[in-house]
Chain A
Amino acid sequence: MKIVIAGSGEVGSHLAKLLSNEEQDITLVDEDAAKLSILDTNYNLMTVVGNPTSFAALREAGAGRCDLFIAVTPYESNNIVACSIAKNLGAQLTVARIDSYDYMKPDNFRHVRNMGVDKVIYPEYLAAKEIITSLEYSWMRSRFELHDGQIILAGIVLPQNAPIAGMQLKEFAFSNHHFHVSAIRRNHETIIPRGDDRLMPGDILYFTTTREHARDLMELTGQKERKIRRVMIMGGGKLTMRLTNLAEGKFKFKILESDLDECHRLSRRCPGVEIINGDARDVDTLIDSGITDMDAFITLTPSSESNILTCLTARELVDAKTIAEVENIQFIDQAEALDIGLVINKKLLASSAIFQLLLDADSSTSKCLALADAEVAELEVRPGSKITHAPVKDLRLSRDMTLAGLIRDGQGMLITGNTRIQAGDLVLVFSLNGALRQVERLFN
């Protein structure tokens, strides 16, 4: 697939690397020649130096012949203009990153579409949605829904007192037919478990299940339902505003912001939200603001370090769910290791949303989630492919992969050794890095 990316900022370059590794044809357009030359020499892609909103540069990059045009420069107006030019030159699908909800509203989006922008990506919106899901299902680490929730993938930390802690996977599977442990994340490593692997306390278990059984997971893993009502947010930026507006009274928010002018602005923009002028990095301020009554604590300041450290401080004061925004990609692993409930990174969210768009266009394969060293993909079974030849247990599948579940005729179901996969099924596959190619061969 031919893809042109305008803007080599963090999202642009992250996407370019990601897609280039997926063997797509990537052309990157940016004005910063120095930045491009580094990418050009080290990655398998082509670069064009030029203004992303100029006809000349976009023509040179082949925007007229591309299947997907992605505009992710820092300015939304530039992105929209770039998309408009690319669309008029003949790009198949255009995607622009925007910075305000205004362009996304259904009424307004019609006009944006008329300008030649097919899809918009609004990272703050994605982040806000992610935070809300996490607050609603507070006992899960992560949760993904496939096909309108026909199959649910849940990442859950196994506590010490869980009924299934210490159990061998084959014992677990014997008594629980409705769940499939697809992957285990232990000590920064992802394991595709086999029958004799044990479920250890502290592991993050990735369960695949169908919608009706999702709630049973809570009891099974010894997690407690915890209704989250009171939420404290540190930092009053755009994301905070989007979050409080999107949550629409589901939660009771309290915002801590150190800048007074910002506080006044927030009070106008976020009606019904309590705003406190103070620095959350100060423990006394935290206590005075009532941190001890909170069910969740979210840090959304521009400084990743402050966000992580303040979350840690808050955990000492109160047993609440913590969420931190971490924009430095290399800090994410560290933050996760410190057991911060959820780490939000707008760039990764934006790039995975764009990635998803791309996969929707190419419907045979779609990757829904990337763990650090494993991939989860939804693959469509082609008629006559190897995987349909025998029941799963007789297929001698590689140890680096597992088939988690499938969707047949719009209905989600789990896969056992006796399942025979049919052409047309959508199969959810977990595979360790590098094994996905092998897996794809089975399906074609």
Chain B
Amino acid sequence: MKQIARSPLFNFPMLAKVVGMLLMIESVFLVLPFVAALVYKEADALPVGITMGGTFLTGLVLARRIKPLHSRLSKRDGFLLTSLVWVTFSLFGMLPFIFSETTPCSVTDAFFEAMSGFTTTGASTLGSLPGMSHSLLLWRAVMQWIGGLGIILFTLAVLPMLNTSGGMQMFNAEMTGITHDKIRPRISQTAKSLWAIYMVLTAVLALLLWAGPMSFFDAVCTAFGTLSTGGYTSGISGMQAMQHTYIKVVMTVFMFLGGVNFALLFRFLTGQPRQLMRNDVFRIYVAFVLVMWVSFSVAGFFAEGYRGLEALTLDPLFQVVAISTSTGISLLPVAGWGGFTLMLTILMMFFGGCAGSTSGGAKIDRLVYLVKNTGNELYRCIYPNVVLPVQVGGRVASPQLVGKVIAFLCIYVIVVLVGASILTIMDVPVTDAIFSCFSCISNTGFGTEITGLGGSYDMLPGAAKWVLSFIMLTGRLEIFSVLVLLMPAFWSRS
């Protein structure tokens, strides 16, 4: 056996090389807003073009100039790379906002905007700015669309390079959910199948919206933002179009689909339709949405000045789906409906959609585990020696797995509380602090207008935006992948 020289903890040259390759992919996506800028003859063609070229060149230099000694990526490399990729994407993705001719903004706001885009949070500090150019609006939508299913998953689909165990590590770190079901034996096929479903659904949605009272541009942006459950809107015209019944119905359906496990959707569409209805998590997801729908309708009924058939049926459904899939488009003046709806909103944000979907939150799957485990614990109070496994989908979950899920939920809440505490140092009111943190970790993107503070995230101090950006990333990569980087043991040999 060849003696392996004690290798460094991290294979930094290889990490840089991979990041370089991914940046080149990002620059390809930047072509879309660049084209939009040219079509609409906007001044933002220059900043977007420069960003595109700069990103490509940086990527090219990193990918070509760096010659790693070996291409092995360890577990540590995998975790670091996942977070690194998301941060670098946001760092380059924010450049068009900073250099924009029409709506320039600070680095803080731009980074917040980009991170919020990629993590499909859809919280905006710029959203209230009128006159954002088409190219920037499109870029925001594209960012969400890439982030929705995952940057790394996209890479796995198009580049064979990551088809190694390091790539597997990254797939596991980026995909949402407790366990990750592969739908095809090879990871690249799985990635291709998932992206294929995603693209087809996006295209169908865009066409449906375009067929209705939406312009082509708005339809594309909204489709990107809806299926990725991001929730960035395409400016004023897009918001106005959302008042149409037809658009509301279509969007509700597709937001809902965005909250369903894509592996399940894949099976549904490829000849195993029964799997969907038989799936525990999916059924609970449907039930959860229905219960919330009724609650919202009732709350709306008792709210003042809110009447009409559509306003009490379709609008609450749209709103409930938008919240629980973490899309976070606010259609109703929920703020005026009292504390109960606010609490329901928080609850929905907490649990989000199904694992393996583009939605955020802690995922319905974990709610199922939590509820079943709680039931077992209570039963155990009466019969102390009873052996009761947690069963989901006819499968017994191992105690370690259940432990990990419970730990996840606890850490989730702790991150929110710690984040909120930091925000209160900066004089953000308690309710708003907790609400914003919840909104960011679950990638919903509701601003403080819901809690009654008014305005959106632009009200917050600069430092708070950085804290929230970090929380968004933590939420998108499902806590462990990011928090592990804070462990001293991660950076040193033990």
Contacts and interface: CB of A to CB of B under 8 A. Distances in A.
A25 interface: yes
A46 B185 contact: yes
25 contacts: A2-B185, A20-B186, A23-B186, A25-B185, A25-B186, A26-B185, A27-B185, A41-B168, A41-B169, A42-B165, A42-B168, A42-B169, A43-B168, A44-B164, A44-B165, A44-B167, A44-B186, A45-B185, A46-B182, A46-B184, A46-B185, A49-B395, A188-B1, A189-B2, A373-B2
Contact of A44 (B2, B168, B398): B168
Nearest to B160: A23
A214 to B, nearest CB: 31
A333 B1 CA distance: 6
Given A188-B1, A188-B2, A189-B2, A41 B172 contact: yes
B1 A334 contact: yes
A213 B164 CA distance: 43
Contacts of B165: 42-44
Nearest to A26: B185
A45 B398 CA distance: 22
Contacts of A2: 185
Interface of B: 1-2, 163-165, 167-169, 172, 179, 182, 184-187, 189, 395, 398
A423 interface: no
A432 B185 CA distance: 27
A33 interface: yes
B443 to A, nearest CB: 24
Interface string A34-76: 1001001111111001000000000000000000000000000
A33 B168 contact: no
Interface string A110-143: 0000000000000000000000000000000000
A26 B184 CA distance: 9
Interface of A is mostly: mixed
B44 to A, nearest CB: 42
Interface in A168-217: 188-189
Residue of A2, A34, A45, A330 with most partner-chain B CB within 10 A: A45
Contacts of B182: 40, 46
A87 B184 CA distance: 21
Of B168, B184, B185, B186, the most chain A CB neighbours within 10 A belong to B185
Contacts of B167: 44
A34 B140 CA distance: 42
A183 B1 CA distance: 18
A59 B63 CA distance: 43
B189 to A, nearest CB: 7
Contacts of A37: 179
A135 B182 CA distance: 48
A406 B4 CA distance: 36
Contacts of B184: 25, 46
Given A25-B185, A44-B163, A44-B187, 5 more contacts: A34-B398, A43-B168, A46-B184, A188-B1, A330-B1
Nearest to B166: A42
A34 B164 CA distance: 21
B392 to A, nearest CB: 13
Contacts of B164: 44
Nearest to A330: B1
A330 B1 CA distance: 9
Contacts of B163: 44
Nearest to A28: B185
Nearest to B189: A25
B218 to A, nearest CB: 40
A24 B395 CA distance: 28
A333 B2 CA distance: 9
B120 to A, nearest CB: 25
A33 B398 contact: yes
A27 B1 CA distance: 30
The listed residue with most A CB atoms (<10 A of its CB), out of B163, B169, B186, is B186
Name the residue in A23, A37, A41, A189 with the highest tally of chain B Cβ atoms < 10 Å from its Cβ.
A41
Contacts of A42: 165, 168-169
A46 B185 CA distance: 5
A119 B185 CA distance: 24
Interface in A349-395: 373
Contacts of A46: 182, 184-185
Interface in A1-38: 2, 20, 23, 25-27, 33-34, 37
A41 B185 CA distance: 12
Contacts of B2: 188-189, 373
Contacts of A40: 182
A180 to B, nearest CB: 26
Nearest to A33: B398
A334 B184 CA distance: 38
Contacts of A188: 1-2
Contacts of B1: 188, 330, 333-334
A44 B179 CA distance: 15
Question: What are the 6 tightest A-B residue pairs by CB atom distance, in nearest-first order?
Answer: A25-B185, A333-B1, A46-B185, A46-B182, A42-B165, A44-B187
Contacts of A45: 185-186
B183 to A, nearest CB: 8
A41 B187 CA distance: 11
B172 to A, nearest CB: 6
Contacts of A334: 1
Nearest to B165: A42
Contacts of A33: 398
A343 to B, nearest CB: 13
A20 B179 CA distance: 21
A101 B356 CA distance: 49
A110 B179 CA distance: 44
A436 to B, nearest CB: 15
A373 B169 CA distance: 25
A46 B395 CA distance: 17
Contacts of A333: 1
A248 to B, nearest CB: 38
A22 to B, nearest CB: 11
B484 to A, nearest CB: 15
A144 to B, nearest CB: 23
B180 to A, nearest CB: 8
Contacts of A41: 168-169, 172
Contacts of B187: 44
Contacts of B169: 41-42
A206 B96 CA distance: 61
Nearest to B190: A46
A205 B380 CA distance: 68
A230 B327 CA distance: 80
Contacts of A373: 2
A44 B167 CA distance: 9
Of listed A20, A49, A333, residue having the most chain B CB within 10 A: A20
A25 B164 CA distance: 14
A45 B163 CA distance: 11
A142 B182 CA distance: 41
Contacts of B398: 33-34
B267 to A, nearest CB: 11
Contacts of B168: 41-44
A40 B181 CA distance: 10
A46 B171 CA distance: 14
Contacts of B189: 25
Interface in A407-442: none
A17 to B, nearest CB: 10
B259 to A, nearest CB: 25
